[in-house]
Amino acid sequence: MQTWLNPIVLEGNLVRLIPMETSHIQALLEAASDGNLWELWYTSVPSKDTVETYVKAVLDEQRASLALPFVVVEKATGDIVGTSRYLNVDAANKRVEIGATWYAKRTQRTGINTECKYLMLSHAFETLNTIAVEFRTHFHNHPSRNAILRLGAKQEGIIRNHRIDHNGLIRDTVIFSILDNEWPPVKKSLEFKMRKSYK
C-alpha cells in the first residue's frame, strides 16, 4: 500500500541509508557496542537484551505509517554504523520529525551525521514537500542539542515533564525545527560543511 512516507534508499558520498529490517539486528548491536552507547542515560540505544524488542517496535511503527527507520551503512567499509528515522509522521499536515539517531563511537564527529541529516532533510523537503521538520532531544543531551543547532535548526522551546523515560525519570524535551522556507540556506550551509569534510 502506498503511503505518504514509503521505504526508500538515500545515498551520499559517505553513507547509504537503507530501510531497517530484522536482518539488521546483529549489525545494529555491534554498532551500539562501539562505545557501549546504551550506557548513556539520557538517550535510548539498544543493548543485547533489548535490541530485538527495539527493532520490532520500530518496524511496528513503520507498518502503522508513523515512522520510517533507516540503518546507516558506511560506504567505505560496508558496515552498519547506526540508525536514524523519520518519526511522529503527520502526513495530513506534511510534518515529520527526524530523530532516534545514534552512531558507533568511531564514526561520531566524522561528517557522517551531517550527510545523513542532509539526505533525510533533502528527501523531506524536496520529495515529500514537508512544511516543517522537527528535531527533539533530551534536555540533558547537550551533544545532540549542539549537533541539531549546527545543522541550522532553530530551537522552538522546551516541553517540561514531557514524558517518563526508560529509566523511570521524567524527561524535559527540547524541540527544534527547520521550516520549508528556511531549507534553501540550510541546504547551502550543509553542502559547504560536507565539502570541507570530504577533503
pTM: 0.91
With a cut of 70, list the residues of the chain below it in pLDDT: 1-2, 35-37, 39-43, 198-199
pLDDT of 198: 67
**Residue 133, burial from CB neighbour count under 10 angstroms (0-12, 13-18, 19+):** buried
CA atoms within 13 A on the CB side of 28: 29
pLDDT of 35: 61
Give bridge partners of residue 133 from the DSSP assignment: 96, 178
CA atoms within 13 A on the CB side of 71: 23
pLDDT of 47: 78
Cα-flanking dihedrals φ and ψ of residue 189, to 5°?
-65, -45
Distance of alpha carbon 48 from alpha carbon 27, whole angstroms: 11
Distance of alpha carbon 61 from alpha carbon 173, whole angstroms: 21
pLDDT of 168: 86
Q: Which three cell numbers stand for residue 146?
A: 549542539
pLDDT of 36: 64
pLDDT of 116: 96
